[in-house]
Amino acid sequence: MATAVVARPVARPQARARDEEVLVWPDLVFVEFIAAMVFTITLFLLAFLVNAPLLDQANADVTPNPSKAPWYLLNLQELLLHMNAAMAGVIIPTIWLGILAAFPYFDRETEGQGKWFGTERSVRITSVSAIVGIVGTWVLILWDSGKGAYLLNKWFGFSGGDKLRFLENMRAIQSQLPWPEWSRKITYLPFNLKILSSDAPGGPTQFQHLDFPGWLVEQGIPIAALVGLPALLIYSLWKMGWVLTRRDALLALFSGFVGAYGILTLVGTAFRGPGQELVFPWQLNVSEGIPGEE
């Protein structure tokens, strides 16, 4: 009778044959014990050999240059250099976590679970997407930091001259193109809506006027890139006949994300020197309160 009222899961694995089973004690408990021991010993050794950093006492008057968030947030701090702060720091990560959580509701096929990669072309899709994520992110960072134009000139003697200067980096699109004056102050709300304003209450509200070139550079192009590039990747893989199922599309999306996320973290951690300038890791000299110099 009880089965009549208990909601059944969407898919229930069939009962398995006894000869496919092993006992948890000792077969699994043993593996867990070894894993725990390996980690305990490794971490003890690490803790013996490397001290946790401790710099000078906190001082609100002495700002280290660069000031960096904890390493696992440096991907967001890196994004912050390229677009609107609210977008990079809050909106994009929140939306991405939402997308991540929604994965199983998008791909509802039960097939291919419990197996590494699972579908026919999954290894190919994963490696290509990860490489696209890694290389693409690097290229975009190099371009937006202005290093792309600099290196093109230095290595190949290529210079776009004044005409192409607006392609040097994102900001140049705002500053080097002849935007008409009206486009920098488009009224989109004829009254002040305080809730949209991040200014202190009482001050003049700028929010209801849109600086179109500024908006384009800070939000328009980044949104287009963040939505468009993954979509383009999945579309191309679909056209190539690699992506056939929703699982394949998720593989491309997730692998591209892991690649990009890894590079953003790496660049933020090891390639950003004073003034958040893009430098090589061995040129990372920080003034005052240097992480890891203790």
Partner 1 sequence: MAVESPTKPTFADKLYDKMFHNYVWKSIFRTGYPNTPRNQMLVVATNVFLHLHPTRIHRTHVKITHTYCLGGLSFFMFLGLTVTGILLMFYYVPSVDRAYLDIQNIQTNVQFGQLMRNMHRWMAHAMVILVFLHMMRVFYTGAYKPPREFNWVVGVILLVLTFLLSFTGYLLPWDQLAFWAITVGTNIAGSAPVLGPKSRFWLLGGLQVGPDALIRFYTLHVIGLPLLAAIFMAIHFWRIRRDGGLARPL
Contact between 148 and partner 1 by CB under 8 A: the answer reads no
Q: Helix, strand, or coil here: 278? A: strand
Q: How many angstroms separate the CA atoms of 9 and 149, rounded?
A: 56
- Is there binding between residue 223 and partner 1 (CB under 8 A)? no
Residue numbers 108-137 binding partner 1 by CB under 8 A: 108-118, 126
Select from 1, 3, 4, 9 the one that contacts partner 1 (CB under 8 A): 9
Q: Per rule CB under 8 A, is residue 6 in the interface with partner 1? A: no
State the Cα–Cα distance between residues 268 and 77, nearest whole angstrom.
7
**Burial group, residue 91, by CB count within 10 angstroms (0-12, 13-18, 19+):** middle
Contact pick of 85, 221, 223, 278 for partner 1 (by CB under 8 A): 85
214: closest CA among 203, 206, 202?
Answer: 206
Residues that bind partner 1 (rule: CB under 8 A) add up to a total of 88
- Looking at 23, 191, 203, 239, which residue binds partner 1 (CB under 8 A)? 23
Asked if 13 is part of the footprint of partner 1 (rule: CB under 8 A), the reply reads: yes
Any contact of residue 54 with partner 1 (CB under 8 A)? Answer: yes
| Tokens at 233, concatenated | 């990747």
68 part of the interface to partner 1, by CB under 8 A: yes
Residue among 1 and 23 whose Cβ is closer to partner 1 = 23
Q: By C-beta, is 61 or 162 nearer to partner 1?
A: 61
Tally Cβ neighbours within 10 Å of residue 101. Answer: 9
> Is 63 among the residues that bind partner 1 (CB under 8 A)?
yes
Among 75, 243, 254, 264, which residue interacts with partner 1 (rule: CB under 8 A)?
Answer: 254
Q: How far is residue 261's CA from residue 66's CA, in Å, rounded to a whole number?
A: 21
Q: Which of 95-103, 152-160, 182-190, 224-232 is the region at the interface with partner 1 (rule: CB under 8 A)?
A: 95-103
CB of 61 to partner 1, least distance (A): 11
Touching partner 1, residues 163-202 (CB under 8 A): 195-196, 198
Of 223, 227, 221, nearest to 173 (Cα)?
221
Helices (H), 218-293: 221-239, 246-270
The single residue among 2, 4, 5, 50 that binds partner 1, judged by CB under 8 A, is 50
Choices 74-82, 140-148, 158-166, 182-190; region in contact with partner 1 by CB under 8 A: 74-82
Q: Which of 2, 3, 5, 105 binds partner 1 (CB under 8 A)?
A: 105
Q: How far is the CB of 112 from partner 1 (least distance, A)?
A: 5
For the beta carbon of residue 192, count every other beta carbon within 10 angstroms.
13
Q: Which stretch binds partner 1 (CB under 8 A): 98-106, 146-154, 164-172, 214-222?
A: 98-106
| Closest residue by Cα to residue 123 from 259, 261, 258, 255 | 255
Q: How far is the CB of 292 from partner 1 (least distance, A)?
A: 9
How far is 55 from 230, CA to CA, in rounded Å? 41
Residues near 133 by beta carbon (within 8 Å), at least 6 away in sequence:
255, 256, 257, 258, 259, 260, 261, 262, 263
